[in-house]
């Protein structure tokens, strides 16, 4: 996987990058769906690794993995993305490899949370089927605590899932542990 310098405004460090693995991944006609031919079931999704160009393994959060649909949504913590030269990352996969829970994790896992540094107060991929299964991906555990107005979960979004708020009364609430009062923050939807 290559990130072109022209696509990067300034050098980035410890930056989350999304990879959509399917039959037409990337900015060209690359087909990464062969990763699914290597595996037998969804449980094999942690038999992967992503490294930088020196071979250092990077943290990965699996937002979605469907063996039957040959679709995977991964976020990895890019240690450095250059604005002056192309930056390469490598995806390894092997069904015979041991499960890699040190660097590869699902939403709400220790490995997955390591993708998001302390600058992220809350990251919710909205992948849960209800508020009680829509987890904060960071180590802050700012999970949804309730909803009202019957929002519809797991709706297709621009990237990943979204939550449809069906009326003016629709909402989902985050517990009292999150505070935006102490630092400048932005909310992106």
- Of the pLDDT bands very low, low, confident and very high (cuts 50, 70, 90), residue 142 is confident
SS3 111: helix
Identify the DSSP state of 113: H
Residue of higher predicted confidence among 162 and 94: 94
- Of the pLDDT bands very low, low, confident and very high (cuts 50, 70, 90), residue 34 is confident
Residue of higher predicted confidence among 156 and 114: 114
Model pLDDT, residue 174 = 67
pLDDT at 182 over 60: no
Residue of higher predicted confidence among 124 and 79: 79
Centroid of chain to Cα 47: 17
Model pLDDT, residue 188 = 60
pLDDT at 179 over 70: no
Q: What is the dihedral of CA 88, 51, 127, 32, to 10 degrees?
A: 60
- Of the pLDDT bands very low, low, confident and very high (cuts 50, 70, 90), residue 164 is confident
pLDDT 10s digits, 48-89 = 999 999 999 999 999 999 888 888 999 999 999 999 999 999
Residue of higher predicted confidence among 161 and 51: 51
Model pLDDT, residue 41 = 86
* Phi-psi region at 150: left, alpha or beta (left = phi > 0; alpha = psi -120 to 50): left
Cα–Cα distance between 12 and 86 in angstroms, integer? Answer: 12
């Amino acid at each position: 996987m290559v990130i072109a310098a022209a696509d990067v405004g300034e050098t980035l460090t410890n930056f989350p990058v999304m990879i959509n693995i399917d039959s037409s991944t990337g900015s060209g006609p690359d087909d990464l769906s062969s990763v699914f031919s290597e595996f037998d079931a969804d449980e094999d999704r942690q038999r992967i690794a992503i490294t930088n160009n020196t071979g250092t393994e990077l943290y990965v959060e699996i937002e979605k993995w469907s063996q039957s649909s040959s679709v995977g949504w991964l976020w990895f913590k890019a240690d450095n993305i250059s604005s002056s030269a192309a930056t390469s990352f490598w995806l390894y996969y092997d069904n015979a490899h041991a499960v890699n829970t040190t660097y590869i994790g699902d939403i709400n896992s220790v490995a997955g949370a390591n993708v998001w540094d302390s600058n992220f107060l809350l990251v919710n991929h909205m992948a849960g089927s209800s508020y009680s299964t829509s987890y904060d991906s960071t180590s802050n555990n700012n999970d949804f605590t309730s909803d009202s107005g019957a929002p519809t979960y797991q709706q297709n979004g621009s990237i990943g899932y979204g939550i449809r708020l069906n009326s003016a009364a629709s909402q989902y609430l985050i517990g009292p542990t999150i505070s935006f009062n102490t630092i400048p923050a932005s909310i992106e939807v």
